[in-house]
Chain A
Amino acid sequence: MQRSASRTAPYLFLSPFVLSFLIFGAYPIIRSMILSLYITSGPEAQHFVGLGNYRYLLQDPDFWTAFRNTATFAVGSVVLQLPLSLGLAILLNRHDIRGRNVFRFIFFSPNLMGLVFSALLFMLILAPKFGLLNAGLHALFGLPLTTRWLSTPALVMPALILVALWLYTGFNMVYFLAALQGVDTELYEAATIDGAGRWAQFWHVTLPGIKPVLIFVVVLSTIGSFQLFELAFLLLGNSSGPDQAGLTIVMYLYQNGFLGGDLGYAAAIGWTLAGMVLILAIVQLRLTGAGREER
């Protein structure tokens, strides 16, 4: 009796998690996979199309527009954001910077305002003729005041990347700051004695020291960028912008599922996005050798 109780005890302890995972995790995943095989009008009206949604998706120019926009945003954000975050972190990790805690807070603070506030703020900053950015560019370089950052297709993505930079550079800086504080200072002393310059120290001591965090931030930023929705949606006035220049994959999913009512096609988009992000994460981990190190 006691033996059987001790045998069932672990399962009893595990059951709350397993049950909630099955209900709130596994079931929606399986349901959405099944749903992606149907054309739907809401959840009640369904028409089986097999892999038809996926076949249509691959030929859907809007999906590829969304993919191109999202990839541009991801590359632009990661390439600009991470060096900036790392640079700020290195700067604010130095003990000879006065008021560095204040600066750390200032750079992190955009994260404390919500996305809605940030979007509204930048709608005003980026406004033509009266916006702060145009006024600044006009005063500095004589550029026209009427530049339409949010209604000129070619400028929509740079504008989004700019806002994302303002929002997330400070956030990633915090990760790098934490990582930098974990690098053994004796290594710098040894490198100095060996005659290593600043660049050599950065390349051979700092970067290897923060590599796990760097990989983590790169993967996280890429995944986050591929999930871009709210910022673009709010900034472009609940739309995908002129010429769909701000259409992202998640926005396209939202439009089809929640505005159009075709949950099946939206599920197919969601699964395709999940596959893309998975492949991208694996490639990034392989390229950086993260998996090998763990083994």
Chain B
Amino acid sequence: MFRRWLDDLPLGLAPLLIAAMGLVAGLYLLLHPVQRGEADLSMWVFGPLHADAYKMAAEDFSVRTDHTIDVQLINYNAVNQKLRSALWAAVNIPDLVEIEKSAAGGFFRGPLAKVGFLDLKPYLVRDHILDRVPANSLATYTERGAIFGLPHDIHPVMLAYRADIVDPYLARRGLRMEDLATWGDYFRELRGLCTAGQRYLLQIEHGDAWAFQIFLMQRGGGIFGPGGRLRMDDDTAVQTMTWMIPLVAESGDNQVAESLGNWDPSFYRGLIEGFYIAVLCPDWRTSQLEAFAGDLHGKMRLVPLPAATPGGLRTSQMGGTMLGIARSARNPELAWQFARQIYYGSPQQHGQLFRTTNIITPDRQAWNDPAYHEPRPYWCNQVLGEQFIALADAVPPFYSSGFLPTAQAKLNEAIVACYGRYRSHGVEGFEAYVRQRLTSAADYVRRQMAREPDWDAEE
């Protein structure tokens, strides 16, 4: 009878089995619903090393306060999307979350009262933490007077170079890397090491805005200024572009900078094989070099960036992470206590994080921890922590905006166009062209910004 019934099924046995499996699975889920975390607070983190450190801190916090924290590791790209969806739908919003600096501005758009994060300024003032962190590191997360994020890091940029190639070359000429105070000195004195197609003096990607941003901030410029003012076409930007493009766009032996990619295996291979002898290197990148360019152990050194002009700034900034507390946090005070512990807690904790990530904390009180004063064999026994700490207060501010991705995309277009123009026409009329391209790029962003209603007035 069952057989006959089966034969009568128009699509055969398979759909019946699929339907039965669906039914069983549905019933199981109905009877065993997924248990939501029982923790008092939830936290999303995108860095695996951060997650490990915070899980340990959460255990310690739990012992001290009897409150539990569920620290979840979420992929870097996913955390932004997941957070945006959670905030938009007001469902499953974490109490605390870490996001990357360039994505932060996007979360600060709209009416101030509807930004998904809590203004942390009152907490920072109340607990006297404002004085403990370099003011520049807070600029990124300050929007219309409110501080929506705690800076996890400062990320001063230094120059990491192949000491095994450069130092003997300079020694023969009676020089040291530390003597090269400006970019002009750097390219002039090391010119002899540069061979077209074989070896270059600096790694810079042709059509990528991130190196440009490093140079721009080093010269005191920026894509945005305080209060969200767009300044990507000011004189500083024009000068920076006019200076940077020829480094990669000159032909033959006059080209001194080149790249084989920024983050992929080719980048590391290029450095290992000496295709470029120096890279722009924020603190976090040093640990990546240690991990992915292990062959260079004992062959790399760090020096402050050569300045644009004599006496100019010897560092810049690249990357960053913030910690925000959601406006909807179940217990904001408790969330603040945990945030305070992991960001401005014990120096030993920061020291431990520095040993694994090479990232220096913005909390000055932690800088005395021994971890920041240990020589590192990978870096020719240089004391990495002290090197970066010495530059911490000089790091230029980075101002975020909800229009940062658009501005970066437009800047990227302008860089590519300027590169093409220099390759075809050389220096003739180049500065005027750079100014025109940057103005046109900025005008596009300004048009987009002009569409934005005055959200706070509408509220």
Interface set of A (CB-CB < 8 Å, partner B): 39, 41-45, 47, 56, 61-62, 123-124, 127-131, 146, 148, 151-153, 237-240, 242-244, 255, 258-261
Contacts and interface: CB of A to CB of B under 8 A. Distances in A.
Contacts of B208: 151, 242
B207 A153 contact: yes
Contacts of A45: 110-111, 114, 455, 458
Given A45-B111, A123-B264, A259 B106 contact: yes
Contacts of B38: none
A-B interface, 5 closest residue pairs, ranked by CB to CB distance from nearest:
A41-B110, A242-B207, A243-B416, A47-B453, A127-B266
A155 B77 CA distance: 26
A43 B444 contact: no
Question: Which of A39, A130, A152: most chain B CB closer than 10 A?
Answer: A130
Given A39-B453, A42-B88, A153-B207, A128 B266 contact: yes
A39 B417 contact: no
B412 A242 contact: yes
A146 B411 CA distance: 24
A127 B261 contact: yes
A129 B275 contact: yes
A124 B417 CA distance: 26
Nearest to B275: A129
B55 interface: no
A61 B406 contact: no
Contacts of A43: 88-89
Contacts of A128: 260-261, 266
A191 B147 CA distance: 80
Interface residues of B, number: 43
A76 to B, nearest CB: 21
A238 B451 CA distance: 26
B263 to A, nearest CB: 7
B418 to A, nearest CB: 11
A129 B451 contact: no
A258 to B, nearest CB: 7
B128 to A, nearest CB: 34
A255 B266 contact: no
B207 A39 contact: no
A260 B88 contact: no
B207 A151 contact: yes
A39 B451 contact: yes
B269 interface: yes
B402 interface: yes
B87 interface: yes
A129 B266 contact: yes
Contact of B110 (A56, A258, A261): A261
Contact of A244 (B111, B402, B412): B412
A128 B260 CA distance: 6
B270 interface: yes
Given A124-B264, A242-B207, 17 more contacts: A39-B452, A41-B114, A42-B88, A45-B111, A47-B455, A62-B409, A129-B269, A130-B260, A130-B265, A146-B260, A152-B207, A237-B263, A239-B409, A244-B412, A260-B403, A261-B84, A261-B110
A127 to B, nearest CB: 4
B36 to A, nearest CB: 24
Interface in B398-451: 402-403, 405-406, 409, 412-413, 416-417, 444, 451
Contacts of A261: 84, 106, 109-110, 402
Nearest to B207: A242
B17 to A, nearest CB: 21
Contact of B206 (A61, A148, A255, A258): A148
